[in-house]
Amino acid sequence: MNNRKILYALGFCAAIVSFAQNLYVPLMPEIQKDLHTSLYMVNLSVTLFTVALAVLQIVYGPLIDRNGRKKILLPGMIIYVLATLGCSLSFSIEMLLIFRLFQGIGAAAVPLVAATMIGDLFEGKERAEAMATYQMILGIAPAVGPLIGGAIGSVAGYSGAFGFLAVTAFIMLLVVILVLPETQPVNVQSNRLDLGSFARIFKNRTGSAVLFTGFVLYDVFYTLIVFLPVILEARYHLSVAQIGLASMLLMAFSLVGSKLSGKLQARIGSSKSLILTFSFVIVSLILFIIAVQMSLLVLLITLGIIGFFCGLTMSALPTLLAVEFVKERATAIGVYNFVRYLGMATAPMLGSLLYFYGGLTLLIGFTAFLVGVAVVFSSLQLGLLTKKTDGAKGIH
């Protein structure tokens, strides 16, 4: 199986698993009714999955570096398939919560192994383009997941939606078993679990730049996802369906940006691409504040621009880690995933305070300020290493 086919197999494995985050969101009221529970308990099923997904990133990372990629991927996918089947058969909220927790534990291995294997298989410019393609495939899940979940749920309920997830995940499990190779480089295998690798990742200039930028990037993205419905309903009185289309616009343009990111990195280097594209996010956010006061059309155009530049930035981050950390590649990407999940979790909490005290201007203005801090910090951290990192590794 050639590397391109492996890339697409890994991308679709990660996308299928990612569906578990949002495919059943439109069905949450039905779950509440059928399981005779509260909205809080249903929301807890989302939280448990996300917490497991985040925490296991820093657990799986060293294990993947120590024991191999496929040896961790296979058990993870098996746990995910069984837990998803359990979610489909759950007849109480307690059962659903338990299986959602195990679903998150299994799911956590898949995107981490996928990104690590891509780093193993590709070099130089091809690695940047492969990571961009992977990010684009992975981004399909949040864009279409709720639509698929709503369509299946309207016919077969939440059990049918989880059943669909179980079947598709089982198919991808067969792909993993039959065709995916072990990609861990033989000359960098580790025989012991070195917890000091976490400290080295944070202290490393590239590592610290990527981690801080990743946190801020996903805080920005999820701030828009969470507060866009509030802004559109309050300012333009849009319906739920219209707000959903606006949210899909953000997702769609981020997918386009992710796909084009590889070409930009191949041309100017991953470090320069990161600084350039994230700088444009600052400008886009300031324009968004102005656009909200002008018209819905201008707002939507600006929203698409933000999504595009966020997408351009996303794939540069794991690419830089894959280049910088060879022996500890999975650990570094695992720490990065954990940090970006923290950014997602921070967005609604911090954003609620900012929006309450200063409305849209303070919310988006402070978000733009955070991006500016990240750009300056990353420029300082990567500036001395640009030639060393990009030039030595073949990413010009």
Average pLDDT over residues 154-183: 86
pLDDT per residue over 274-284, tens digit each? Answer: 999 999 999 99
Lowest mean pLDDT among 88-92, 171-175, 248-252, 381-385: 381-385
**How far is it, in rounded angstroms, from Cα 288 to Cα 175?**
43
**72 pLDDT exceeds 50?**
yes
Tokens of 108: 């956590």
pLDDT of 83 = 94
**How far is it, in rounded angstroms, from Cα 260 to Cα 283?**
20
Average pLDDT over residues 203-225: 91
| Contact call for residues 320 and 270 (beta carbons, < 8 A) | yes
Q: In the CATH hierarchy, which fold is given to the domain comprising 3-182?
A: Growth Hormone; Chain: A; (1.20.1250)
pLDDT of 192 = 53
Average pLDDT over residues 240-260: 80
Confidence bin at 367 (pLDDT 50/70/90): very high
Average pLDDT over residues 118-145: 79
**How far is it, in rounded angstroms, from Cα 116 to Cα 65?**
9
Q: Is 179 helix (H, G, I), strand (E, B) or coil?
A: helix
Average pLDDT over residues 101-120: 89
Closest CA to 135 of 114, 107, 156: 114
pLDDT of 61 = 84
User: For residue 188, what is the DSSP state?
Assistant: G
**How far is it, in rounded angstroms, from Cα 334 to Cα 108?**
9
Tell me if domain 3-182 and domain 196-393 are identical in fold.
yes
**How far is it, in rounded angstroms, from Cα 161 to Cα 279?**
40
Q: Which helix (H) or strand (E) holds 255?
A: helix 240-268
**How far is it, in rounded angstroms, from Cα 52 to Cα 57?**
9
Domain boundaries, the chain: 3-182, 196-393
pLDDT per residue over 303-315, tens digit each? Answer: 999 999 999 998 8
pLDDT of 240 = 63
Name the residue with higher pLDDT: 374 or 327. 374
Tokens of 191: 């025989």
| Contact call for residues 69 and 184 (beta carbons, < 8 A) | yes
Residues 6+ apart with CB under 8 A from 185: 120, 326
CA atoms within 13 A on the CB side of 142: 17
**364 pLDDT exceeds 60?**
yes
| Contact call for residues 114 and 11 (beta carbons, < 8 A) | yes
**How far is it, in rounded angstroms, from Cα 173 to Cα 78?**
7
**194 pLDDT exceeds 70?**
no
What does the mean pLDDT of the chain come to?
84
**Residue 283 to residues 229, 323, 343, Cα–Cα distance (Å):** 22, 29, 21
**389 pLDDT exceeds 50?**
no
Share of the chain above pLDDT 70, in %: 91
Superfamily of domain 196-393 in CATH is MFS general substrate transporter like domains (1.20.1250.20)
Q: What pTM did the predictor assign?
A: 0.80
Average pLDDT over residues 152-179: 86
What is the widest separation between alpha-carbon atoms in the chain? 60
Confidence bin at 351 (pLDDT 50/70/90): confident
Confidence bin at 86 (pLDDT 50/70/90): very high
Tokens of 250: 């953000």
**188 pLDDT exceeds 70?**
no
